[in-house]
Every structure is written in structure tokens, then in C-alpha cells.
DNA sequence: TTTAATATTAAACATGCGTTCAACAGATCC
DNA sequence: GGATCTGTTGAACGCATGTTTAATATTAAA
């Protein structure tokens, strides 16, 4: 196929570039993250990457092929960053909103989750498993309430954790925030309170949902 | 020269067939709820309503006009049912998943929330206000933890409450459930536990997030 | 019955989409 | 020098979309 010897290559004219494919892929991830898969057009990606629409297809076969390539790329970025940060929760979270490429990667994942595609399901399954391991083994010194149905519990928590990112735009309008960091800062104390103590102060007297824990 | 201009408000013609328009509108709500606004086609709606595509446009002016009509219709359905059920929480919830029309109305709302349209924002704002009133005044005998930032707290809780519906498809795949009722039944105990007691059992020793509440 | 207005349809129109194609420009190898 | 392969483009193709139009069917009024 294509031999990419870095040292035998000298800087050349706009032709001959393994960079080009990467440029297209980066533009595609950004476009998909912003508009979702359906509304994103090949022409739009080509324009963002400053190439012709035909070249996009030439490199990735089809729009779906490009999507698959984006999936792999984003998955690598996310997992590699997760490995680097290991158990440093706050650091990882901060990174997700500070590093712009990581931020678009997260947006990409969210859009994948909302599209009814298999890729998004893979991400979600992976995420639920991760949450389940955190719930059982603890995470960064935190321990969690145990349940008879750890998988259901993990799915519940996972969904809750994803919700603010999914409805970010709606939250911005309601809270008057302008970027992700501001919004998350505003939400953080309430999320912490919810996770630490719940939301309900007292139940009706005739309720049987009292404190009959195991 | 046919004038279909939106010139006057009283377009109520003496000989209109209200059944047909209503049939189209019902079909449209269902299609929008299932596939979202963008992926839903006028031809698809027309087929579902067993009419010609042209008639859809004739009755509602455009696809966007049809969407607006759907918005009003769904909004009426939701609010009228909410008024009927007043403070009977469980009853209202059950109705949402038992009454098929109410169920598609909810799906429609969720899709509206994910589309970056103004309509969805109206719904969300309304919902956050509702949650805020519940948080301050209580709801069906329940009282809730008070916060210095009730609006932010309401937004947080609202987002959490919407999350399972938004990710319903993803949850079905993870939990092996097949309909909304099964899924919600599976989630219910964990949601209850979260809302009653939170999710975190203990924090790291060096953490300053202890129980220093106001 | 005649007339006018609406309800409805099939076909056509205009546009935007993903994709294909023919041609060209460099690079590599003989 | 060709010969050949790849990167790249601009134009075109085929198709699906939202919408328009011309014509027909139906209804109500005169």
C-alpha cells in the first residue's frame, strides 16, 4: 500500500499527504460532534477540511466508512486518556473540559449515544461496565451503596452521569451559562449533594418506602 | 393564481375535513416521536396517514408548520393530563407508560429536547419550573432537600429525571428489557435509593466533602 | 342545475445529498 | 525518457427530499 517513511520524506507540495486523511478525519469528528451523523454532510466535512468531497470518499470509501474511522479514532483517544489518568477522577474530568480535542471527543460520544447506531451501544455498554466496577470496587477512595442488582444500579448511575452532557444546550439556556465549565461548576454542588445524600428529605407518613434498608 | 399566503388568521374554511387533518397530525406526532424531526419525511407521514404528500403540505403549509401544530397538540395533551392527575404522582407516571398516546407524546417531547429547536427549550424550561415548585413546596407528601440555588438544583433534578427516557434504547440493550414498563420497573429501586440516600457510601479520608451541610 | 370553493391526488419541480467518473498532477520505478 | 500508481479535483449522476402545480373529486351555496 502506502509506505510512510518519515525520514525519507521531505516537505513537498500540497500533493502526497498522509496528513490529508488525518485532516479529514479530524474535521469529520468535529462535524459529527457538532451536528450529529445524519445532519452532517460529506460536503460540509470536505469544506471544513479544505478538500473536495470526492477526496473524502476516496480515502474512507463512504460516509459510513468515515464514521467507523471516527469511531475508532475517538475510542482510542478516550481510552488512552482514561488509562493515563487512571484513578485521578477530578483530573480526568477537568481534562475532558479543558482539552478541546477531548471535549469534541466527548461530544462525539454523546451524539453517538443518541443516534440509534451500534457504535454508540458499544460505548454505552463499555461505560456501564466501567461504572459497575467502580461501584463494586470503589473509585478514588470513594465507596458506593451496594445493591442486589449491581448491573441495574450501574446502568442507572451511568445514565445519570451522562445526562448533563446530553442536555448541555438545554441547560445553558436555563442556567444562563455559556460554556461547559461554567455549567458543570453550577451543577457540581447539586450533583454532589444528590450523590451524597439523595434529593428527598422526607416521605409521606402513609408511605412504606421508609428506611427499611437491608 | 392560487394564494396560499399566510395572509389572514381566519383560514377556517366552511368545508374543511377536520378528520383528515387530525389523522395527519396524529401520524406526524407518531413519526416524529419515533424517528425525530430530521429523519422523518413528509412522504413517510403521508403514508402513515394514508394520504398524499401534497395534502400534508396543503393542510399545514410546510413540514415546519406541521411540526408547530404537533408541538401545540402534544403540549395540550401533556398539560391536560397533568392537570387531571394533579398530585397523584404514581398514577401520572403509570398513565404515561400505559396510555399509548401519552407514551408517544412523551417520546415526542424527548425528541424535541434533543433537536436544537426552540420548541424543545420551551418544554424544558416549563419542566424545570415545575420541578422547582415541587422542590420548594413538596410533591405528593414528599419534601426535598433545600438548596441555596433552587434553580440550579431544579435543573439538576430535571435532567436526572429525563435521562432514562432519553437513553431508553441504550438501556434496553444493556438490561435486556423490551418495553418501557419493564425497564422502568428495573430502574425504579435504584432511582428510589438514589433519591432517598444518594449513591456514595463513604468519601476518602483526606476529602473535605464530608457532612458539613449548611 | 349551476357555481364556487375546498379536498385530494399524481406528477413534476428544485434542491441537496452521497457517490461516481474522467481527467490531471506528482511521485516512483523501469 | 516513458509507465504506472496514487492524491486530488470538478463535474456529473442518481436518488430522496420538501414543495408546487395542474387536474379531478367532493361538497356547499346560489
CA dist A134 and A26 (Å) reads: 32
User: How is residue B205 annotated by DSSP?
Assistant: T
Contacts of B30 (CB under 8 A, 6+ apart): B48, B104
| Residue A114, pLDDT score | 94
> Which residues are registered as beta bridge partners of A144?
B200
What are the phi and psi torsion angles at B183 (to 5°)? -60, -45
Mark which residues 159-188 of B lie under 8 Å from A by CB.
159-160, 162-164, 166-167, 169-171, 173-175, 186-187
Distance CA A77, CA A22 (A): 14
Q: Distance between CA atoms of A169 and A93, rounded to whole angstroms? A: 19
A175: chain B residues, CB-CB within 8 Å: 151-152, 155
Using CA atoms, how far apart are residues A90 and A177, in angstroms rounded to an integer?
21
Query: Whole-angstrom Cα distance, residue B32 to residue B19?
Result: 20
Which of A146, A163, A206 is opposite residue B162, by nearest beta carbon? A163
pLDDT of residue A15: 39
CA dihedral sign of residues A68, A71, A76, A79: negative
- Cβ neighbours around A83 below 10 Å, total: 8
Surface of A (118-147) touching B: CB under 8 A: 120-121, 124-125, 128, 140-147
Which has more confidence, A214 or A36?
Answer: A36
Alpha-carbon span B153 to B201, nearest angstrom: 21
The whole-angstrom separation of Cα A70 and Cα A78 is 12
pLDDT band at B214 (very low <50, low <70, confident <90, very high): very low
Decide which of B139 and B30 is more confident: B30
The pLDDT mean for chain B works out to 85
* Residue that the C-alpha cell 436544537 belongs to: B116
Q: Is A110 within 8 Å of A162 (Cβ atoms)?
A: yes
Please report how the helices A168-175 and A150-166 are oriented relative to each other, as an axis angle in degrees rounded to 10. Answer: 60
- The pLDDT tens digits for B66-90 are 999 999 999 988 877 666 655 555 5
The domains found in chain B, sorted by start residue, are 18-166 (1.10.357.10)
pLDDT digit string, tens, across residues B15-26: 356 789 999 999
Residue B182 Cβ under 7 A from any strand D atom: no
Amino acid at each position: 500500500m502506502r509506505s510512510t517513511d518519515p525520514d525519507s520524506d521531505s516537505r513537498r507540495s500540497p500533493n502526497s499527504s498522509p496528513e490529508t486523511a488525518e485532516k479529514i478525519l479530524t474535521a469529520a469528528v468535529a462535524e459529527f460532534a457538532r451536528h450529529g451523523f445524519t445532519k452532517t454532510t460529506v460536503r460540509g466535512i470536505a469544506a471544513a477540511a479544505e478538500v473536495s468531497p470526492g477526496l473524502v470518499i476516496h480515502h474512507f470509501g463512504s460516509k459510513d466508512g468515515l464514521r467507523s474511522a471516527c469511531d475508532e479514532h475517538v475510542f482510542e483517544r478516550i481510552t488512552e486518556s482514561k488509562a493515563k489518568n487512571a484513578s485521578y477522577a477530578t483530573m480526568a474530568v477537568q481534562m475532558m473540559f479543558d482539552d478541546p480535542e477531548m471535549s469534541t471527543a466527548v461530544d462525539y460520544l454523546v451524539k453517538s449515544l443518541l443516534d440509534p447506531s451500534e457504535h454508540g451501544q458499544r460505548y454505552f455498554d463499555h461505560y456501564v461496565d466501567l461504572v459497575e466496577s467502580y461501584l463494586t470496587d470503589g473509585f478514588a477512595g470513594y465507596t458506593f451503596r451496594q445493591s442486589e442488582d449491581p448491573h441495574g444500579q450501574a446502568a442507572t448511575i451511568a445514565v445519570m452521569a451522562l445526562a448533563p452532557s446530553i442536555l448541555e444546550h438545554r441547560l445553558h439556556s436555563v442556567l444562563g451559562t455559556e460554556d461547559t465549565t461554567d455549567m458543570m461548576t453550577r451543577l457540581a454542588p447539586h450533583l454532589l449533594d444528590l450523590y451524597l445524600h439523595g434529593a428527598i428529605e422526607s416521605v409521606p407518613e402513609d408511605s412504606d418506602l421508609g428506611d427499611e434498608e437491608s
